[in-house]
Amino acid sequence: MTLVDIIVIAICLALGYKFASAMMSKSDPVSESRRPEPPNLFQRQPPWHDVLGVSPDATHDQIVSAYRARMSEYHPDKVANLGPGIRALAEQKAKEINAAYAEATAGRA
């Protein structure tokens, strides 16, 4: 093996290392575009009956039943082992459901 061969191999190794490290450090543009947007604090929450999926004149028992059904879908403990985006979405939905339930039961019982 000549000196030229050794130099060519060394240059190729250095370029390969630089290329591989550059490819590994780039973030995935697809995953960044799928990140959920942070909730808008000024966004108006939908009416409580839409959140719970009942009619505005629902009885207390119907409201409680709908609340339990919705919370069983979005409770944060059910998605604790999933990705952070899904956990954040479940937490936001649970807060929305709790707020709707509080509003619905404020004048009833």
Domains (ranges, CATH) in the chain? 3-28+46-105 (1.10.287.110)
Is the confidence at residue 35, as pLDDT, over 80? no
pLDDT higher than threshold 80 for residue 40: no
b/e per residue, 90-108, with b = 16+ CB within 10 A?
beebbebbeebbeebeeee
Please state the rounded mean pLDDT for residues 73-79: 84
Q: Are 99 and 45 in contact (CB under 8 A)?
A: yes
Q: What is the mean pLDDT of residues 44-50?
A: 87
Residues 55-67 pLDDT 10s: 999 999 999 999 9
Distance from the first to the final alpha carbon of the chain:
90
DSSP 8-state code for residue 40: P
pTM of the model: 0.57
